[in-house]
Structure 1
């Protein structure tokens, strides 16, 4: 199955999705689905879509939370880093590596 075919099928199954959402889901589904023949059935495609959507939503939520933490930390101005701020920075790196791993299906180094 090609990305174009997958995008067409997703558009048919989920017409409410934007073109950008479909493109993201195509990349996620194609990188995480070990057997592309599973995507030929509507049930298999729906399962893959739900899995990819869940992973994308979870990564987006984590990213937003860490971005808020970093923004509030930056509002404090230049100060010595506290242990809590260092943990926030480490979480930010971890979240970014998880997002990278989500799109590449390769283990990240963080």
Structure 2
């Protein structure tokens, strides 16, 4: 199954999804699928869609939280890093690596 075919199926099964969401989910589903041929089954496809949606939402939530922490940290101006600020930076790196892993299906460095 190609990404285009999968996008068409997702759009027909879930017409409320925006085109960008369909494209993003199609890519994530195909990356995570062990056998793209099994996605012909509507139940398998919907299960894969829910899994990809959950992972994407979790990554987006983590990214938003870390971005807010980084914004707060940076708004205080240049100062020596405290241990808490170092942990914020480490979490930011970890979240970014998880997002890369989500899209590339390759182990991230962090």
Distance in 2 (alpha carbons) for counterparts of 1:27 and 1:108 = 18
Secondary structure of the corresponding residue to residue 102 of structure 2? helix
C-alpha deviation, 1:41, in angstroms = 0.8
Unaligned runs of 5+ in 2: none
Q: Offset at 1:37?
A: 1.8
1:53-76 per-position Cα deviation (integer Å, ceiling 9, x unaligned): 000000000000000000000011
TM-score, with structure 1 as normaliser: 0.99
* Cα distance in 2 for residues equivalent to 1:39 and 1:48: 8
For residues 5-84 of structure 1, what are the structure 2 equivalents within 5 Å? 5-84=5-84
The runs of 5 or more residues in structure 1 that have no matched partner are none
* CA shift for structure 1 position 109: 0.6
Instruction: Give structure 1 regions of 4+ aligned residues with deviation exceeding 3 angstroms.
Output: none
Secondary structure of residue in 2 paired with 1:80 = coil
Partner of 2:100: 100
Q: What's the Cα RMSD here?
A: 0.5
Q: TM-score, normalised by structure 2?
A: 0.99
The 1-side partners of 2:21 and 2:81 are apart by 38
